[in-house]
Structure 1
Amino acid sequence: MENQRIRLTKKMLKEALVRLLEHEPLEKITVYQLCNEAEINRTTFYKYYGSPSDLMNDLQSDFINELEKSLLEKNCPVSLQMILTYIDTHRESCKALLRAAFDNGFFEKIMSLSLITQKLDEQVSPRYSGFRREYVKEFVIYGNYSIISKWLKSEKPEPPEKIAELIFEIIEKI
């Protein structure tokens, strides 16, 4: 169990990473920059993380755990609208995470949450089976990624329910 000081230090580092990701890709962010942004020393950073990538992995895990917890706390069926509302509430962090983490599978980790895969299975037309069903699901996942990315980048984003309606309308036509 981490004490309050450790949790605060890690939170400061994660917030610093999100701020830095707004301007630079992860691979260009140094430990020095992170420590300077978080106002901690490098020894403290290395006490908890080996690299900025390790910090990114921890940030992603936290986000996925919080998302899953948020979805489980609801006493209603999981819906895309709930997911989008959660993402909208954490818009800046999500933008930074999605921008920085496409190559390391962050979006796939979100889309592979059991609650989300269950909903996706319900939505993909039953007329597809076998390998076709898997390809259609892959198409839906990456199509969703593109729509959500564009939505997150929008200066005047539509409400989450409108994006959820659009995505379900597209899925129903598949």
Structure 2
Amino acid sequence: MGDTMNRAKARIKIFKAMVKLLETETFESITIKQLCAESGVHRSTFYAHFEDKYQLFDTMTAFHMSKYKKLMDYLSQTVQNCELDEVKYKVLKTFQLMFRYIKRYQAFFTAVIVTHPQVHLIQAYIKLTKDAYKKMLNDLPNLNDADHFIQYTIGGQLSLIYAWLADDCKEPTRRMARILYTNILKTDR
């Protein structure tokens, strides 16, 4: 049990080191030597967990992406299975969860979206969001130019998150969720 705990602690230290380094360095310039120095683990410990920095980054992004996918799946199911008033309530609550999650992992998201944007990661989030929104729109009344609406909405959503992160997440998460909700559902304007 102690060995498992130490392995888990080492892994967390490596994750935190990557995030800290991403705050000041581009991903391409980060070395295993830097990761080991920042995390306080030996190279052998690093390689016991990851093949290279790419696998480390993929592991980190897969973790966050899986959480986001669950949120998007929940939204899709809500739209499919609930009455409109309940949908509105749950969409707002989901956006609140999303902003709290981003705030919790603020250092990571600021590093990969604002400081040193990771284009492939951002594109993956955009694709996942687009697919979820398309699925949701299938269960709602017909919308003219649905693809353009989705692109416009995602662009605004990404810009809102980017600006919030760039401003050190000063606005409360509930306010950010309300802004996103209002603009997506085009209500309370």
Change (3 A) 1:140 1:29: same
* C-alpha distance after superposition, 1:76-112 (max 9, x if no partner): 8352122112212222222123344531134634872
* 1:91 matches 2:92: no
Q: Which runs of 5+ in 1 are unaligned?
A: none
* 1:144 matches 2:123: no
Higher Rg of the two aligned structures = 2
CA–CA separation in structure 2 for the residues paired with 1:165 and 1:120: 22
Greater fraction helix: 2
Amino acid at match of 2:95: L
Displacement of 1:144 in angstroms is 1.0
Q: TM-score, normalised by structure 1?
A: 0.75
Q: TM-score, normalised by structure 2?
A: 0.70
Displacement of 1:141 in angstroms is 1.8
Report what 1:102 is aligned to: 118
Change (3 A) 1:156 1:95: closer
CA RMSD after TM alignment: 3.3
Residues 35 and 45 in structure 1, CA contact (< 8 A), matched pair in contact too: yes
Report what 1:64 is aligned to: 65
CA–CA separation in structure 2 for the residues paired with 1:134 and 1:53: 33
* C-alpha distance after superposition, 1:36-92 (max 9, x if no partner): 1011121221222222221111111222345567897xxx83521221122122222
CA–CA separation in structure 1 for the residues paired with 2:20 and 2:146: 39
CA–CA separation in structure 1 for the residues paired with 2:119 and 2:169: 27
CA–CA separation in structure 1 for the residues paired with 2:179 and 2:106: 19
Residues 20 and 29 in structure 1, CA contact (< 8 A), matched pair in contact too: yes
Residues 50 and 56 in structure 2, CA contact (< 8 A), matched pair in contact too: yes
CA–CA separation in structure 2 for the residues paired with 1:173 and 1:63: 28
CA–CA separation in structure 2 for the residues paired with 1:33 and 1:133: 46
Report the number of matched residues.
165
State the identity as a percent.
Answer: 22
Q: 2:167 aligns with which of 149, 154, 167?
A: 154
Q: Which runs of 5+ in 2 are unaligned?
A: 75-88
Residues 31 and 52 in structure 1, CA contact (< 8 A), matched pair in contact too: yes
